[in-house]
Amino acid sequence: MVSKPADNPVFVRLTGDRRSPSLRVTVIGGVVVGLGLLALSMVGAISAAESRWWAVLRTAGWIYALLLPFGVSIAAAIITGRDLPLGARLDLKNEINPQTVVEGYWRASLFRMRVPLAVVIGLLPMIAVGPFTQVVMLDRFFGGSDASIFFPAFIESMPSATLYAVTWSVAQSAAGIGLLGVNVFAAALGVYFALGQLKAFPAPVAAPLSIPILILPMMCLVALVGPYYMMPLFDAGSAVKVIVLSIVLFALPPYALALLVIRLAARGRWVEDLVG
């Protein structure tokens, strides 16, 4: 269904003069910054004074990551809405199928927002891998640290703290991937509403208002994995449950829903409205 961006004429037309910085450089930069911040935050976790500053930065990171999808949806709605009357009409007359047009708008919107999204990539390792998991990782993998002073009774009573640390690192990373995916879903919503699927509200208003449809259920589903987070007797069965639930409930839904929205958008009446 989804072709390569370079093969999409709508994407090429909308991003032809906006290729710097490149997507590869942006993503690599975000990953490098993210790993660096995670390492620094783990080092800071062993100091009570420094951990307070990292807590402030982590909170700010969460706020930014949760608010960005609203900005992405608005940007996608504006980019699509501005180009739609002339650009999409010309594309359709040139026999470019509606699915390709919709995907082009979707991909171009994400590409235009690549720098803000790279900031999220840079923040995700630090905010997704929680401080408690970092402390357990430090205690188990770097035994010389004093990380265990924060939760001495818990760590000493947990015979499988290493399994716990690895499991929650994977699970929280999956949740972080899902959080990044909310932006992919938000861009799809912006394109969907800009194509005239809902005329009760302007697209830049309707799209961000629809984002809680995904975010709120994901937040409620935390209750399914939350009981495992502070469980001293953490075994292999618990690890499998946590990882599977995290992937199924958090990592996959945003991307699956984005593809569904794009598919629905391509079947809308906007094609008839443009070409008569």
| Cα–Cα distance for residue pair 128/35, rounded to 1 Å | 12
152 located within any domain: yes
Half-sphere exposure of 257 (CA within 13 A, CB side): 22
Phi, psi (deg, nearest 5) at residue 146: -105, 30
Whether 2 is in a domain gets the answer no
Residue 11 lies in a domain: no
Task: Name the domain count of the chain.
Answer: 1
What's the pLDDT score for residue 145?
47
Q: pLDDT > 90: what percent of the chain? A: 15
Establish if 46 belongs to a structural domain: yes
Assign 5 a pLDDT band (cuts: 50, 70, 90).
low
Q: How far apart are CA 22 and CA 184, in angstroms?
A: 18
- For 200, other C-beta atoms within 10 Å of its C-beta total 6
**Residue 98 is assigned to a structural domain of this protein:** yes
Residue 86 lies in a domain: yes
Across the chain, mean pLDDT equals 75
The predicted-structure confidence for 22-62, as pLDDT tens digits, reads as follows 888 898 998 898 888 877 776 665 555 556 676 777 788 88
Residue 153 structure tokens: 């009774």
Q: Please report the pLDDT score of residue 113 as a whole number.
A: 93
pLDDT tens-digit readout, 248-259: 888 898 899 999
pLDDT of residue 203: 63
| Residue 13, C-beta contacts closer than 8 angstroms, at least 6 positions apart | 87, 104
Please indicate, yes or no, if residue 214 is contained in any of the structural domains: yes
pLDDT score at 149? 46
- Could you tell me the two tokens for 245? 């639930």
Return the axis-axis angle of helices 212-220 and 203-210, rounded to nearest 10°: 10
pTM of the model: 0.80
Return left, alpha or beta for 122; rule: phi > 0 is left, psi -120 to 50 is alpha, else beta. alpha
Phi, psi for 257 (deg, rounded to 5): -70, -35
Q: Phi and psi of 229, rounded to 5°?
A: -70, -40
Which domain range does residue 224 map to? 19-275
Q: Where are the alpha helices (DSSP H) in the chain?
A: 9-15, 23-44, 48-83, 89-93, 98-112, 114-128, 131-141, 152-157, 161-194, 203-210, 212-220, 222-225, 236-246, 253-266, 270-275
Structure confidence at residue 153 (pLDDT) = 47
Band of residue 18 on the pLDDT scale cut at 50, 70, 90: low
Query: Is 7 a domain residue?
Result: no
